[in-house]
A and B are shown apart, each in its own frame.
Chain A
Amino acid sequence: MRLAPLAAVLSLLTAPVLAQTGDDTVTTFTLPNGMDAVVIEDHRAPVVVHMVWYNVGSADEPAGKSGIAHFLEHLMFKGTDELEPGEFSEIVAAQGGTDNAFTSRDYTGYFQRVAADRLGLMMKLEADRMRDLVLDSEDMLTERDVVLEERAQRTDSNPGAIFGEQRNALQYLNHPYGVPIIGWKHEVEKLTLQDALDFYGRFYAPNNATLVVAGDVDPAEVEAMALEHYGALEPTPGLEARERPSEPPQVVPRRATYTDERVSNPYVIRTYLAPERDAGDQETAAALTMLAQLLGGSSQTSLMGRTLEQEEGTALYTSAFYSGTAYDDTTFGVIVMPTPDRTLEQAEADMDRMIETLLTEGIDTAQLERIKGQVRAAEIYGRDSLQGRARTYGVAVTSGLTVEDVQEWPAILEAVTEEDILTAAREVFDMNRSVTGYLARPAASEEVTQ
């Protein structure tokens, strides 16, 4: 603890801003330069997860520069005015730590998992690359090839992923959520060093970042260390709230069929534009979360699983899914993968019938109670994962929610009524907000050639 004496002095010099939250293991503070922080205490093992989350993701990219947020995430490992390319990860590894990063539509995050007494060093490293990235054009070109290989591996080699990209583009005609996070290939191929530096200079700043520290730490010491390492970084002036182009009214259902010889089990998938969790206003999202569980959560006990998979035996797999944590409007999805003897048209009819059944016959009270019990249990099980807890807060705050919203969420889920769910269902199941997709196999399959 070489840093402790200095840290103690620093914390005396600043106003005490450590704030207790609704969960006694979680505290928050904000540095004078605008950097927010969430500290999660867990003293079971001498381990810490250190994360910095930026309020910027693929949905914040300039038009024509798709993939720049993710490309920059790769370039963040390419050196600073103080570090050689690759040295960041080498230093973390030399401490027995692991590090990585991730980019999504609304956020970009960087993390290290190390022994708890290495936290100060991690902060020093992460603070260094927040403002002082140094890029070399040859490294940039090589890394662009790596990203193109990543795209080829994750998307272009996978028919489901290719189709997902197309369906998403259909769902969002105008909002940038329609653009893939990894970027369109023809645009990624043309990204430049300057594109990366422009994006970096604007968005990578303490007033656009949240520090999340979880593990065997003392919040006051974390604050002192954060002030020492992040406190001197210059904020970006004039960063406004994120305003993305919004969707025009949708007046027709949208449909697409993608056929690929690599498809093994065809399916029908439909997504509906749906509201997301908003700060202080999470009730509709909570009802949609429960709706997804009731309609297609458990493959044994949900409405679709019980009826289509178990009783009728017409589907191999069914699911309903909704994730409310997003900055702008998200989607509610339903999928039915029929048994091989059924067509996609029949599978879609099954899907429609299940939605209709839910709307007309109402909610299975016992099933709702079962789901609420599992929500309560998930809170207990979830406490076992340091990284999971840190991530929950990071995703929430970069999606426009507050720490209080995160902590109120379980109680809001618990309070959802059958009527809330039906109201949300009637609202969300509107074909004029939908995209229906068939992932299909070519008509002449290999049976013909045998």
Chain B
Amino acid sequence: MSLMRNLFVAALTILPLPAVAAVEIQEVTSPGGITAWLVEEPSIPFVAFDIRFKGGANLDDPGKRGATNLMMGLLEEGAADRDARAFAEATEDLAARFGFDTYNDSVGVQVEVLTENRDEALRLLRDALIEPRFDQSAIDRVRDQVLAGIEADARDPQEIASTTMSALAFPDHPYGTALEGTRETVSSLTRDDLMAAHAAALTKDRMYIGVTGDISAADLGPLLDTLLGDLPEVGAPEVPTATYALDGGVTVTDFPSPQSVVLFGHEGIMRDDPDFFPAFVMNHILGGSGFASKLMSEVREDRGLTYGIGSYLVPREYGAQYLGQFSSSNDKTAEAVQIVRDIWADVATNGVDSEKLDDAKTYLTGAYPLRFDGNGQIAGILAGMQVQGLGIDYIATRNDKVMAVTAEDIQRVAARVLQPENLHFVVVGQPEGLATGGL
């Protein structure tokens, strides 16, 4: 034991937990009745918006898979009296930044606009959201880009693994197919399909808004009405619950590569489950970010079998997965798979030692305030909290929920959530000594 290490230990025990960032959230309701959460941050002259609409690509009709994704890709390709080029020139002239994203459970719009031309930039965005043109020339061009992406995914081992896992896990739900659609479905989409997808996806009753930056609550209210007031109120019907259909085993997909991509998992736990926090903390210890997790330390640090390995809870609106992944040389993949199975079984039976639990709590509570360090970042957190149905005081109480997790909680959720016998490994590559079949 060296002097310096003792000093480090002393430092650790003396320093208190970092203060939670003073994030003051205001709930703003516009004259027209649109609600947004706002954090005012006037020090840099721009404002970030994060607008999300629940529904997303889950709303695609099976024969028109990819409609929502293509529709979102077309919003900035011409709107109101501007064609694609005029719209792009106007956006660039204002140096506004618009991003349009499609997920299975939602679609999202991320925006950064300068204070100096804020109202003008948001009027432009309003046109994109409410009056997109869907010109045939733009449809054809963006469709070709989507098809090229589908082509690329078909040759990307990561994407093949992900698509394979989803199809096996949720054969009867939109989660089971890629939200980009297939060559056939995307090729068949018409302008009417895109208009229908637009009417279904962007509706006021499923909308959640986070705003952060150089804007006051008084200024934001009327702007919300200008930006979003003309959207329709009622959207497409609800989506059915996704039934998880995969048992333990191995599925190998041949792919010419020196490494195999391995995606593994089983059914997970929903975000509103009372055990979610203990499960979240347990996963951090098992396979969370950084170098300290059990998977990282045993598979990478001790054995050099991979460059990186991690696991994550994937709670979605209609079903949950518990997933993990790594890549490993073909001659090492079988060994790495075995180690993951052993770790899974070990934690399910024995839980984790209490020192690891304390370390995880310190990290998770200390890292949380560090997330709030940028306008776009904070706007995203605000929107995400609303989508998840969390209270406006959640930020102040979140670390208490982490600290409240006990060793008994971990033991209990490990036994409940980890299902070693149901762990399924999707392997894309040419792994030695691994073949499709049971565990």
Contacts and interface: CB of A to CB of B under 8 A. Distances in A.
Contacts of A156: 257-259
Interface in A366-411: 370, 373-374, 376-378, 380-381, 383-386
A264 B154 contact: yes
A385 B95 CA distance: 18
Contacts of A146: 300, 304, 306-307
B145 A316 contact: yes
Given A301-B92, A380-B45, A82 B2 contact: yes
B232 interface: no
A63 interface: no
Interface string A310-336: 100100110000000000000000000
B218 interface: no
B420 interface: no
Contacts of A316: 144-145, 148
B292 A264 contact: no
Interface residues of B, number: 77
Which of B5, B17, B359, B362 has the most CB atoms of chain A within a 10 A radius of its CB?
A: B5
Interface string A283-322: 0000000000000001011000010011001001100000
Nearest to B46: A380
A281 interface: no
Given A301-B85, A309-B141, A316-B144, A93 B45 contact: no
A28 to B, nearest CB: 23
Contacts of A429: none
A152 interface: yes
A45 B43 CA distance: 12
Given A95-B366, A149-B304, A310-B85, A374 B290 contact: no
Interface in B349-387: 359, 362-370, 372-376
Contact of A306 (B12, B85, B93): B85
B2 A97 contact: no
A86 B44 contact: no
A175 interface: no
Interface in B41-91: 41, 43-46, 48, 84-85, 88-89
B131 interface: no
B21 A370 contact: no
A54 interface: no
Given A95-B15, A264-B155, A44 B41 contact: yes
B327 interface: yes
B306 A149 contact: yes
Nearest to B97: A381
B334 to A, nearest CB: 15
Contacts of A46: 18-19, 21, 369
A444 interface: no
B112 interface: yes
Interface of B: 2-5, 7-8, 11-12, 14-15, 17-19, 21, 41, 43-46, 48, 84-85, 88-89, 92-93, 95, 97, 112, 114, 140-141, 144-145, 148, 151-157, 256-259, 289-292, 297, 300-307, 327-329, 359, 362-370, 372-376
**Nearest 4 Cβ contacts at the A-B interface:** A96-B366, A145-B304, A115-B18, A377-B95
Given A153-B307, A370-B93, 6 more contacts: A83-B4, A86-B301, A97-B370, A98-B367, A125-B8, A141-B304
8 contacts: A46-B21, A77-B291, A82-B5, A82-B8, A124-B7, A150-B307, A157-B157, A298-B92
